[in-house]
Amino acid sequence: MTRRRGLTSPLALSVLATLSEGPMHPYEIARLLRHRGKDQSIKIRYGSLYTVVQNLEKRGLVATAGTARAGRRPERTVYRLTDDGQEELEDRLRELVGRPVKEYPAFEAALSLAGVLPPDEIIGLLADRVRLLDVELAGARAALRELIAEQRLPRIFLIESEYAVAMKQAEADWVRGLIEELADGTLEGVDHWRTWHRTGEFPAEWMERGWAKTDRAMHPESEVDEPG
């Protein structure tokens, strides 16, 4: 009945993973992860790191292996992975690889609120986005090529970057498609959206539909006492 709550952050996982290579102190963990470019896929904040390690210690997933000092620099606490920690690490990794978790990308949120701006402005913004995505893609691909060709780093160490590139490419492609549908009016509703912004009035044609009615019903004009 050991409680398995919390400590689910990617940072916590990366700490366990790194310690599975041998005892280390927190700063060293961060340095290694950075050196390997893992900070591109995992958000590493020094402020968080030390708290996370302490919490992992509380749960018995890591333990202090001793303290060391070089010269008169501040004392470093060296941690090691416990058996429980190794088990947790593997369990969480299995979970994370084996099943998708619901996430909330900022762009999805933005799309869901895009109605606030008029469609023609949105088209321009989406075009900006595509341009920037293309630049990022070119950069990321060049970096990958460099690491593989010059540094002779096996591709297997770079799958997470290849994944990121693939997703970025998919997004760019999808946005390009959306821009087209918006521009040529293929996408059902854009015309009404446009006139709605021009006139400020909710399209009469939509009023009739069921979803519009229940939507209105959600927002009763309630009597309000003016403040002050």
Residues 8-67, interacting with DNA (CB under 7 A): 9, 11, 25-28, 31, 43, 45-48, 50-52, 55
Q: Give the tokens for residue 95.
A: 């979970």
**Which of 50/137 has CB closer to a copy of itself?**
137
What is the rounded CA–CA span in Å between residue 15 and residue 145? 28
The yes or no reply on residue 75 touching DNA (CB under 7 A) is yes
Min dist. Cβ of residue 226 to a copy of itself (A): 5
Binding mask 29-68 for a copy of itself (x = CB under 8 A): --xx--xx-x--xxx--------------------xxxxx
**Which of 73/152 has CB closer to DNA?**
73
**Which of 1/35 has CB closer to a copy of itself?**
35
Which of DNA, a copy of itself, none sits in contact with 104, Cβ below 5 to 8 A by type? a copy of itself
Q: Give the tokens for residue 169.
A: 């490419």
The yes or no reply on residue 6 touching DNA (CB under 7 A) is yes
DSSP line for 62-78? EEEEEEE-STTSPPEEE
What is the rounded CA–CA span in Å between residue 141 and residue 174? 19
Please name the residues in contact with 19: beta carbons below 8 A apart, sequence gap of 6 or more. 29, 62, 79, 80, 81, 85
- Give the CA distances from residue 168 to residues 85, 100, 102, 106, 154, in Å, rounded to whole numbers and listed in that order: 34, 18, 18, 14, 22
- Residues in binding contact with a copy of itself, number by CB under 8 A: 97
Tell me if 61 sits within 8 A of 88, measured CB to CB: yes
Min dist. Cβ of residue 33 to DNA (A): 12
The yes or no reply on residue 6 touching a copy of itself (CB under 8 A) is no
Min dist. Cβ of residue 141 to DNA (A): 27
Query: Which of residues 146, 167, 195, 207 is near a copy of itself by CB under 8 A?
Result: 167
Q: Which amino acid is at 8?
A: T
| Phi–psi pair at 82, nearest 5 degrees | -90, 175
Residues that bind DNA (CB under 7 A): 6-7, 9, 11, 25-28, 31, 43, 45-48, 50-52, 55, 70-77
